[in-house]
Amino acid sequence: MSDFDVIVVGAGPAGSAAALEAARAGMRVCLIERGPFPGAKNMYGGVVYGRILDTLIPNWWEEAPIQRWITRRSTMVLTDSQALTIDFRTESWGKPPYNGATTFRPDFDAWLASNAEEAGATLICSTTVTGLLRDGQRVTGVVTDRPDGELTADVVIACDGVNSFLAKEVGLYPHTDPSNFTLGVKETLALPREVIEERFAVRGDHGLDIEMLGCTGDVPGGGFLYTNAESVSIGLVLSLPQLAKGGIRPEQRLARLKEHPAIAPLIEGGEVTEYSAHVIPEAGYNMMPELISDGFLVAGDAAAMCLAAGIWLEGVNFAIGAGAAAGRTAAGAVVRGDTTADGLAGYRTRLETSFVLADHRKLRDAPHIVMSDLAQQKVPKVICGMAEQVFTVVNPDPKPGMFKILWSELRRNKMGIRDAASHGIRAARTFR
């Protein structure tokens, strides 16, 4: 008999959700994490979208370690000296069941893992899985860096994050193409609660989420600024190949954003309490590996399930959704006594009928569009240029018409009207 029915590698959101659901289904589950505690290795922008948690932990908002509930969401388009912001707020996101919330991953991941433990899973931290045990094609367990550290299981679920060496070991990723990945760098800046309330026009435990485009210079990417209880998180996401071409380093690009006239007053006086970095699988559906092998499932960032498409940066909810589906599928297969790839095939069906693969398939072109030269370099300049022309009073000249303004901005930024229209249509199709 195997040591466990199910071994889950990685106690991030995917892994803890997988362990939680498998343990609830009566499985003997081992959840292995290389950090000294769950979340120790994990950083992200800062907002978890909780709807998927409703299905796992009723009233999760009463116990989850939340910093602020997002009730105000801004999308900011920047050039070096301009900024146009669309700002939305709603009180409904400030009460149950809420929408998004800022939380620190070392807190959130530890909390989610503790739910898996309460359901009966065995959590082992400070243990790195260094490889897989195999019987021919079939995965039969894991090798860890502990003395006598081999553990066997009927199903191994790889929730080991973006670098997933386990999915690579099974051969599910043909090769690693750096253009599918971005580097995220972030600073957590301490600010007093009252300063945050005043600067960001929020009260109590409500908070703001700003997504930015046009703030990464010649490297495709984006930026973010999120409010926590007594700090803000500010960061950049940068495409790897262009970043590696040389020139300006990640933290220097972040320093530039912090000096931008639209951003500097928001963060003034904020002391850096933590600098952090992590890689994101950016290309979504088009880079996803095979998800199933004999005795083996992949979930979360390990399977590139993070949705990074411009105005969205959602990975935690996708990881939880996928992990829960993997945990349930594994349990069903163990009970039926068939944990081959065929016996585990229901995993893909579960994902396809849920948001995890439905959203990804629908938005499969979005990462490419958002990271294109047009969206990154030209659109911000055209949008900000138009706004400046519309709002500049040119007396004694008469006001120029909107079409004339659009035309002149397209021309100034060397964008053909046909080019603009065809990209517009493509974007409209993708985001429809």
Partner 1 sequence: MSATNSSTNGPSDQRSRTSDPAGDMPTSRTVEASGRYAEMSFEARMDTVEFRVHERAHIVVDGRKCVDCSVRGCITACPANLFVPTADGGILFNYEQCFECGTCYMVCNEEGAISWSYPEGGHGVVFHAS
Q: How many CA atoms lie within 13 A of 309 on its CB side?
A: 21
- C-alpha closest to that of 286 among 304, 261, 260, 300: 304
71 binds, among ligand FAD, partner 1, none (CB under 5 to 8 A by kind): none
Q: How many CA atoms lie within 13 A of 135 on its CB side?
A: 9
159 binds, among partner 1, ligand FAD, none (CB under 5 to 8 A by kind): ligand FAD
Which of 171, 192, 193, 275 contacts partner 1 by CB under 8 A? 275
Count other Cβ atoms within 10 Å, centred on residue 230.
Answer: 15
> Can you read off the two tokens belonging to residue 3?
């040591």
Given the rule CB under 6 A, which residues bind ligand FAD?
Answer: 9-15, 32-35, 41-42, 44-48, 128-129, 159-161, 184, 186, 235, 237, 278, 280, 300-302, 306, 313-317, 319
Interaction between residue 362 and partner 1 (CB under 8 A):
no
241 binds, among partner 1, ligand FAD, none (CB under 5 to 8 A by kind): partner 1
Report how far residue 179's alpha carbon sits from residue 164's, in angstroms, rounded to the nearest whole number. 17
Output 53 or 334, the one with its CB closest to ligand FAD. Answer: 53
Report how far residue 387's alpha carbon sits from residue 191's, in angstroms, rounded to the nearest whole number. 32
Output 41 or 381, the one with its CB closest to ligand FAD. Answer: 41
Interaction between residue 168 and partner 1 (CB under 8 A):
no
Which SS3 state, helix, strand or coil, does residue 59 take?
coil
Q: Which stretch binds partner 1 (CB under 8 A): 78-86, 249-257, 400-408, 415-423?
A: 249-257
Report how far residue 259's alpha carbon sits from residue 268's, in angstroms, rounded to the nearest whole number. 10
Interaction between residue 425 and partner 1 (CB under 8 A):
no
Interaction between residue 106 and partner 1 (CB under 8 A):
yes
| Rounded CA Rg of the chain | 23
Interaction between residue 103 and partner 1 (CB under 8 A):
no
Measured in degrees and rounded to the nearest 5, phi and psi for residue 252 equal -75, -35
Residue type at position 324:
A
Provide the binding-site residues for partner 1, judged by CB under 8 A: 34-36, 39-44, 104-106, 125-128, 130, 144-146, 162-163, 176, 178, 181, 183, 185-186, 188, 231, 233, 240-241, 243-252, 255-256, 258-259, 264, 268, 272-279
